[in-house]
Amino acid sequence: MKKLILIIFILGSCYNSSTNSKFIEEFISKNPLLLESLKKNEIQVKLTVIDENEIFSEYEYNIDEKKYFYPASTVKLPIALLALEKLNENENISIDTPFMLEDDTLKTTIKKEIEKVFILSDNQANNRLFEFLGQDYINKKLKSKGFKDSKIFHRLSTNNSSNLDGKVVNFFLEDSIVSFRNNNHNIQKLKIKNLKKGEGYIDSSGKLVLSQMDFSEKNYISIPDLHRVIKILFFPEKFKESERFNLSENQKHLLFDYMSGYPIDFGYNSDDFPYYFGKFFIYGDQNLEFDENIKIYNKVGLAYGQLSDVAYIKSGDISFILTATINVNTNKIYNDDEYDYDEIGFPFLAEISREILNRLSYKL
């Protein structure tokens, strides 16, 4: 039943504004009630199919950039790219220059932290990059590059995550220290739809509060903006120079290795981090063994029952960009860690992406 719902969704609910969509329409007409059931999960999907001449064909379902969903760790993608861009604005430091936060116990490098962001989706690695950048820099850069429906308010999974006072970041050169500290400014709360969610939430003291949870000061990046990040990264020539990320070719190749890599490739234990870790598309439901012919450059997000993935996927001559999100907080209580990731979320993302791959294999 679930698989049928998913197939009807992808083949019956997307549209393409410039090409014939009869193969889509024939599926939507089979059972509209199944499609209706999917609306409860706040699904949004954006798909770009890329042909051999790099011509884009655009499809989408239920996209609403003014309707809030929690992007979770997908925000680490633009943060990692902006960290490299800021490095390139400072000639004295590089991706391999050791650095440390003022209250940290770890001396590390931007290269290592970006590796952990993509391979492990490490929150503290993201927060170190956040401190280097500063909230103001992140939001200014996103706006200047045309990301109109994105705002970064806070760090991830840490106390005082939205504290505007930045930490000192020290980069250690051979004979000197280069320091950064970013004191950020308050930004206006989000003013979009669906900012109050659910029927209750567990507060910081562990008590159940029977009212909606307010997301008006939570991170946000819309599905179109997330999708556009991947487009700019992999196809920069299709965008204005001011919209591109200022990265060297070596930095791009390193990013591509991290985005498409698997933990075992970087020395992490495959028992702790199996091949499907961080690859919700194609492998999320664990029903497909690893296929070396499928290349997935992506970043996932998972929190509050919201499950998302943004990816550039290649298999032979097939090439497409897919961004999707689904809310599987069935009981509508936030922070209780009772979400239907395994039952609904992972199967949805895995099957929808495999169905696209299969359909494109038949040249539909």
Q: Could you give the 3-state DSSP secondary structure of residue 2?
A: helix
Domain residue limits, the chain? 2-361
Interstrand relation of 220-221 and 294-303 (parallel, antiparallel or unpaired) = unpaired
- 45: Cα separation from own chain's centroid: 13
Q: Could you give the 3-state DSSP secondary structure of residue 300?
A: strand
Whole-Å CA distances, 20 to 13, 14, 47, 212, 291: 14, 12, 16, 42, 31
pLDDT of residue 351: 85
Task: Sort 120 into a burial class: Cβ within 10 Å, 0-12 / 13-18 / 19+.
Answer: middle
pLDDT in tens, 206-230: 999 999 999 999 999 999 999 999 9
Amino acid at 71: P
Ramachandran region of residue 157, left (φ > 0), alpha (ψ -120 to 50) or beta? left
Neighbours of 160 (CB within 10 A): 9
DSSP secondary structure, 112-144, as one string? HHHHHHHHT--HHHHHHHHHHH-HHHHHHHHHH
pLDDT in tens, 135-165: 999 999 999 999 999 999 999 999 999 999 9
Question: Which of 261, 283, 250 is CA-nearest to residue 349?
Answer: 283
Distance CA 239, CA 11 (A): 30
Model pTM greater than 0.85? yes
Please state, rounded to an integer, the average pLDDT across all residues of the chain: 90
Contact 320, 14 (CB under 8 A): no
Distance CA 296, CA 311 (A): 6
CATH, domain range 2-361:
3.40.710.10
Cα angle value 279/229/235 (rounded, 5°) = 100
pLDDT in tens, 250-307: 999 999 999 999 999 999 999 999 999 999 999 999 999 999 999 999 999 999 999 9
Termini Cα distance of the chain: 24
- 91: Cα separation from own chain's centroid: 29
pLDDT band at 359 (very low <50, low <70, confident <90, very high): confident
DSSP secondary structure, 199-267, as one string? SEEE-TTS-EE-SPEE-TTS-EE-HHHHHHHHHHHH-GGGS-GGGS----HHHHHHHHHHHH--GGGGT
